[in-house]
Structure 1
Amino acid sequence: MPVQSCETLAKKKCLPCEGGVDPINPDEAAEQLQEHPGWRLTHDGKRIRKDWVVKNFMAGMKFFEACAEVAEADGHHPDLHLEGYRNVSVELWTHAIGGLSENDFILAAKIDQLPIDLK
């Protein structure tokens, strides 16, 4: 996958993935993440994750609702984590291939455009 700006990725739509394609290797993913401030590789380069500290519990729930709407529209669904009532995280990977695809970076770019009420 060639490195793309978040602006370019956010204009794309996630494509259905039923497997049969190779995941993006961790080195390529790390290069792409240079365009995604705050996102990092996890699980041996098979997932990306970003963490935020929000103002309060309801700010986290509101952010997750916005994430859910964007994810559902693209048919690509993240793991959403809430810990300690204000610590929110989003983790992305393409389940069908057990690693990262362009879809993960598309959704990350769209999530970064969402409003979030930070601490």
Structure 2
Amino acid sequence: MSQPTGLAAKRCTPCSGTAQSLPADDVHRLLREVPDWSLTPGGDRIRRAWHARDFATALAFFNRIGGIADEEDHHPDLHLTDYRCVVVELWTHAVGGLTENDFILAAKIDSLPLELAK
């Protein structure tokens, strides 16, 4: 297995009391590194959706995301609808917007295997 590169090779950093959300230019630059993610309408979160093969596959994917989230101490909002539609939203709760941590976690989630619906 190859070593992660780019954002996936970084670690999330704890938010200090002075942490602020990223300026729009930085958000758009980092978004290019995780092209399957998009900004939510308010522009304060990034979001990605998948259609897993089935319910059990979707739940297993959530568990793998949870493992990475705990390792990085940065936790996403996870949604499961229509029994296999997985939606992940990332934002840094402490700043009420996006930080580099969100893009790091997005890149790590992108590296997880998921068997998609046919």
Normalising by the residue count of structure 1, what TM-score does the alignment of the two structures yield?
Answer: 0.90
RMSD over aligned CA atoms reads 1.4
Task: Give the superposition deviation at 1:7.
Answer: 2.6
Per-residue CA distance 1:53-105 (angstroms, 9 max, x = gap) = 11000010010000000000010000011000011011000000000001001
Dislocated runs of 4+, deviation >2 Å: 25-28
Q: Counterpart in 1 of 2:86?
A: 88
Structure 1 unmatched runs, 5+: 1-5
Further displaced range: 8-17 or 62-71: 8-17
Matched letter for residue 100 of structure 1: L
Give the Cα separation in 1 of the matches to 2:16 and 2:80: 29
Q: Number of residues paired by the alignment? A: 114
Aligned mates of 2:25, 2:43 — CA distance in 1: 8
Q: Which residue of 1 aligns with 2:10?
A: 12
5+ residue gaps, structure 2: none
Match of 1:48 among 32, 46, 49: 46
Which residue among 52, 55, 58 is the counterpart of 1:57?
Answer: 55
- Alpha-carbon contact 1:23-1:98 (below 8 Å) kept: yes
Residue aligning to 2:103: 105
Q: Which TM-score applies when normalising by structure 2?
A: 0.90
